[in-house]
Amino acid sequence: MNKTLYRVIFNRKRGAVVAVAETTKREGKSYADSGSGGVHVPSVSFTPTHSKAFCFSALGFSLCLALGTADIAFADGIIADKAAPKTQQATILQTGNGIPQVNIQTPTSAGVSVNQYTQFDVGNRGAILNNSRSNTQTQLGGWIQGNPWLARGEARVVVNQINSSHSSQLNGYIEVGGRRAEVVIANPAGIAVDGGGFINASRATLTTGQPQYQTGALTGFQVRSGHVAITGQGLDARDTDFTQILSHAVKIDGPVWGKDVRVSAGKNDVSADGSIRSSHSPATNINSDNSLYAIDTGALGGMYAGKITLISTDRDASVRNQGQWFASAGNVAVNAEGKLVNTGMIAATGENHAVSLHARNVHNSGTVASQDDANIHSQTLDNSGTVLSSGQLTVRNLGRLKNQNNGTIQAARLDMSTGGLDNTGNITQTGSQALDLVSAGKFDNSGKIGVSDVPQTGLNPNPSVIPQIPSTATGSGSSTVSVSKPGSNNPVSPTAPAKNYAVGRIQTTGAFDNAGSINAGGQIDIAAQNGLENSGSLNAAKLRVSGDSFNNTVKGKLQAHDLAVNTQTAKNSGHLLTQTGKIDNRELHNAGEIAANNLTLIHSGRLSNDKKGNIRAAHLQLDTAGLHNAGNILADSGTVTAKNNLRNTGKVSVARLNTEGQALDNTHGHIEAETVNIQSQQLTNQSGHITATEQLTIDSRNVDNQNGKLLSANQAQLAVSDGLYNQHGEIATNRQLSIHDKNQNTLALNNADGTIQSAGNVSLQAKSLANNGTLTAGNKLDIALADDFVVERDLTAGKQLNLSIKGRLKNTHTLQAGHTLKLNAGNIDNQVTGKIIGGEQADITSEQHVGNRGLINSDGLTHIGAGQTLTNTGTGKIYGNHIALDAQILLNREETTEGSTKAGAIAARKRLDIGAKEIHNQEGALLSSEGIFAVGNRLDEQHHAAGMADTFVNGSAGLEVQGDALMSVRNMQNINNHFKTETYLAKAEKQVRDYTVLGQNAYYQAGKDGLFDNSQGQKDQTTATFHLKNGSRIEANQWHIRDYHIETYKERIIENRPAHITVGGNLTASGQNWLNKDSRIVVGGRIITDDLNQKEITNQSTTGKGRTDAVGTQWDSVTKKDVYLLRKQNKL
């Protein structure tokens, strides 16, 4: 191209018209062999040395040249080092349009052209490094002549080594004319870039290091000092495949554009490809505040490239970004031995490209964003800004990670490992993959940690989260471009590629304190070695918690579709909600709410549910060594098992309850279950309620149910070996109730004012029963006792009542069965107020004695059997349709109490059978049958009398039979025990005296028969004379004289209670001696005595007797001369 012949075309990349050679045809990457190739001349802003500022296009600049008004480029801005070898001294020229042209020196066999300068400054119009051995087209200078130093071939690498104490000023583009080559600008004194750039350079290196060579090849750089500063219009390396800045320190206060930008800072030995061979940065105090900046990007600075790599090897220096680092087609990688401080933006917007940050300390209050994965490796990480990743964010932090002051960490998947965590901001996983968060130290979260299984369409629904990347700045620096997908004009909001990750986890070897929120739409495992304390929110589709302890405080809320907690201890004062949950630990203390559809609680130690605690589940499986519940444990189905002690003062409502411990204390508590199975040494249910809808089973040494309730809607079985205390308590079922001591006869049951009942059956077996409470069964009541039993309250059964008492039964109340009553005891004493009633049968047996003063009755068979004596005394009444009495001795007798005498009654409505050896019916007692009456010495299987009784005494009592009487008695006495008579004086005659001659029997009554004259006092009289009325006289000197009167006595009955036997039908009498004395036997039919020895009944009646007595005196009288003798006088 020359001054008068050129073409003006529109450059798409510049967005402006440019002047090019007239032969230009196409655009290419290399211009070495394409005279007709398209060109790209960036718009260049520059400030000339005079005061006015002009902006030239290529056409305008050409016109200025033609008019002679354009400034000529200062060739002394680039000055070859005359002290260098001639083979390393470039030739400095000007192009036709005044652009500095540097004819580089001949390259080595390795293709390296080494050029040394004392000054290498590029103005804003740029400079050309001529790497063409023939004439070639350039973008900055048009056509230039070939470089004579390249006769043997063009260079592959162009090294521009500046030997100066002044930094190089790169304010324009450096173009490689001819063959595309690598460009190295090396100035140990520093490099300042303001509007610089590279054209046709395959690699651009800005370094403050000394180039190192070996056998003609560039092997690397030795960096020990110097700074590279990017300011103002920045650095444009977009036409360069790879751009690297190698310096002791780098300051970026302007934009840097490129495809692959690498910045390395520190005292390093760096290979030619940019990799660090060795570092000579001092190892200073790791706790340094890093006041120096190895790489410092200011607020106006930034890097915009396909790929960005930053390396700092100085531990005492920081990498700081206050601007923007954008990678649109590759990764952003930062590796800093010291601190990384980001208050700006670090972003990788290309698909399948990541942000990788490695630093001793990372401080982010800006934004770190990646459309793909992101990695942060550090010793400490402080984030108060935003860290975003559309893929996986991997954090490896040795120290404590602080995410504070609304800091946000967000990724499709989080894989974080840290020495500790302090989160007051947001940590969010947006993808369905699993979270992995590991902390070796204490884990404090008062912010939000979230995982959502909702598929994400990008890093954030709002594309503005990642700002658009600015283009190359114009003079004003205000123009921007959007990074778009190929073939697209819209800003990218990429979709994170679907990836499969392992189950997510949060793991810490220290304490885990969550006061914020942790949310996960998928599964997350939390492993807290020293315990998890949650006063915030934990929410996940699947949540697994393991470690030493778990404490969900009163403010804590844990919610998961599937939950598993496996810790040594667990405390919950907040809310724990899950669809399916499992808590497996040594001890659980709950003062909050645990709710689930399906919940499993396993504890090798104790579960404690406080008064405010609520455990609710549709299905609950609780297995614990010990259980202390003061709150509510509620489930529609499932099992609660306590292997040791269970203490409940609250409410437990489950499908099945099992206990196997030493003690169950349900004082004031409520237990409800379909099935309750209690095995314990001590069950205390004082004022408590234990209810089973199906089966209640208790196996315990002692049961204290005072004021309590043990209830079952179906069945209950209580096996109690020592004591059952049911004072004021209730034990009740609807179907079957069994209380026993496994037939050991050791149980003492106290039912004082209590209730033991069943709508069905009750079976009670014990040593003793103290019962003044209610003991009843709707169907069958079985009671078996080893000791004496006093019936202090009624015992009733709807159908059958069975009592078996090895000792003595004393009944003062009612024993009643709707159908059958069976009573067996060693001795039976049915007191006056006692009633023994069987609806259709009463079967009463005793090994020894049966005594009845009360009522024994049935509407069917009343059977009483006594091994020895059956006594029905006084007020005793025995009734039944069929009465069958079996005893050695039957005594139906009277009793006098408080002056009143009553006699027993045995009355059958249809039949009365007595099988006894001796039968005594006495003193007004009654044996009665409205049908048949039969007597023998035993009963047969039909309860009919058989055999022959020895003795039947019916003494002053009654036997009344309306039907036939079949009496087989060896000795039968129907006697009047109270037949008594007395002799009384019926007549007393007047006093008389009669005489008889002594020795004769003829008496002569004085007055009646004559006159007796003894002439006493006459001395000459020798005889006494009885003068008869007929005139004769009887004389004798010895007389027997009686002076008396006659009394007549008769007998009369003063007491008479005859016995009576009344038979309406026939009387069949069998035996030996039948006596009816002073009593009655009245038979309506026949008296059959064929089987009597004498063929008849002996009837004896007592006949009344009378007597006559002479009452007076008698004596003998002797008359002699002159003497009258009176001998001894006697009573008659």
In tens, the pLDDT along 556-582 reads 898 888 888 888 888 889 888 888 888
- At which of 67, 98, 117 does a domain end? 67
Separation of first and last alpha carbons in the chain: 205
Residue 22 carries which side chain, given as an amino acid letter?
E
User: Is 57 within a domain?
Assistant: yes
CB atoms within 10 A of CB 180: 22
Same domain, 1089 and 1111: no
pLDDT at 291 (0 to 100): 54
User: Is 807 within a domain?
Assistant: yes
User: Is 748 within a domain?
Assistant: no
DSSP 126-138: -EEEEE-SS-EEE
pLDDT at 1125 (0 to 100): 52
Q: Write the CA distances from 613 to 588, 591, 632, 633, 657, integer angstroms.
A: 11, 4, 6, 8, 19
Contact (Cβ atoms closer than 8 angstroms) between residue 923 and residue 917: no
The rounded mean pLDDT for the chain is 83
Same domain, 908 and 1041: no
Distance of alpha carbon 271 from alpha carbon 1030, whole angstroms: 204
User: Is 1008 within a domain?
Assistant: yes
pTM of the model: 0.65
User: Is 945 within a domain?
Assistant: yes
Residue 124 carries which side chain, given as an amino acid letter?
N
User: Is 639 within a domain?
Assistant: no
Distance of alpha carbon 79 from alpha carbon 90, whole angstroms: 9
Same domain, 1023 and 885: no
Distance of alpha carbon 1007 from alpha carbon 791, whole angstroms: 85
Split at pLDDT 50, 70, 90, the class of 1126 is low
User: For 641-682, how does the pLDDT look when each residue is reduced to its tens digit (9 = 90+)?
Assistant: 888 888 989 998 888 888 887 888 999 999 898 998 989 899
Same domain, 814 and 845: yes
Domain count, the chain: 4
Q: What are the tokens at 1090?
A: 């064929």
- At which of 67, 86, 111 does a domain end? 67
Contact (Cβ atoms closer than 8 angstroms) between residue 989 and residue 1046: yes
Residue 412 carries which side chain, given as an amino acid letter?
A
Cα torsion for 722, 727, 729, 734, to the nearest 10°?
A: 60
User: For 644-654, how does the pLDDT look when each residue is reduced to its tens digit (9 = 90+)?
Assistant: 888 989 998 88
- At which of 19, 47, 67 does a domain end? 67
Contact (Cβ atoms closer than 8 angstroms) between residue 65 and residue 3: yes
Contact (Cβ atoms closer than 8 angstroms) between residue 403 and residue 446: no
DSSP class of 59: H
User: Is 761 within a domain?
Assistant: no
Distance of alpha carbon 818 from alpha carbon 795, whole angstroms: 12
Q: Which residue has the higher pLDDT, 1126 or 1120?
A: 1120
User: Is 1068 within a domain?
Assistant: yes
- For the chain, give the percent of residues with pLDDT over 90: 47
Same domain, 935 and 1069: yes
Across the range 48-65, mean pLDDT stands at: 37
Same domain, 801 and 925: no
What backbone phi and psi angles, to 5 degrees, belong to 65?
-65, -40
Indicate if the pLDDT at residue 1021 is higher than 70: no
- For the chain, give the percent of residues with pLDDT over 70: 85
pLDDT at 27 (0 to 100): 47
Q: What's the length of the chain?
A: 1132
Residues 6+ positions from 1068 with CB-CB distance below 8 Å: 964, 965, 966, 967, 1088, 1091
Across the range 453-458, mean pLDDT stands at: 38
Distance of alpha carbon 200 from alpha carbon 460, whole angstroms: 38
Structural domain for 809, as ranges? 788-850
Distance of alpha carbon 492 from alpha carbon 329, whole angstroms: 12
Split at pLDDT 50, 70, 90, the class of 42 is very low
What string of H, E and C letters represents the secondary structure of 760-783?
CEEEEEECEEEECCEEEECCEEEE
Split at pLDDT 50, 70, 90, the class of 13 is very low
Same domain, 29 and 43: yes
Indicate if the pLDDT at residue 1121 is higher than 60: no
Instruction: List, in sequence order, every beta strand (DSSP E) within 705-834.
Output: 709-712, 715-725, 730-733, 736-740, 748-750, 755-758, 761-766, 768-771, 774-777, 780-785, 789-791, 795-797, 800-811, 814-817, 820-830
pLDDT at 1037 (0 to 100): 84
Contact (Cβ atoms closer than 8 angstroms) between residue 720 and residue 701: yes
Q: What are the tokens at 434?
A: 């699993």
Split at pLDDT 50, 70, 90, the class of 451 is low
Same domain, 1015 and 953: no
Q: What are the tokens at 218?
A: 């560039």
Same domain, 1068 and 995: no
Same domain, 1000 and 1047: yes
Across the range 903-911, mean pLDDT stands at: 96
Same domain, 974 and 904: yes
pLDDT at 503 (0 to 100): 65
Same domain, 843 and 934: no
Q: Which residue has the higher pLDDT, 296 or 622?
A: 296
Across the range 455-461, mean pLDDT stands at: 36
Distance of alpha carbon 528 from alpha carbon 513, whole angstroms: 10
Q: Write the CA distances from 775 to 426, 670, 770, 874, integer angstroms.
A: 68, 23, 11, 29
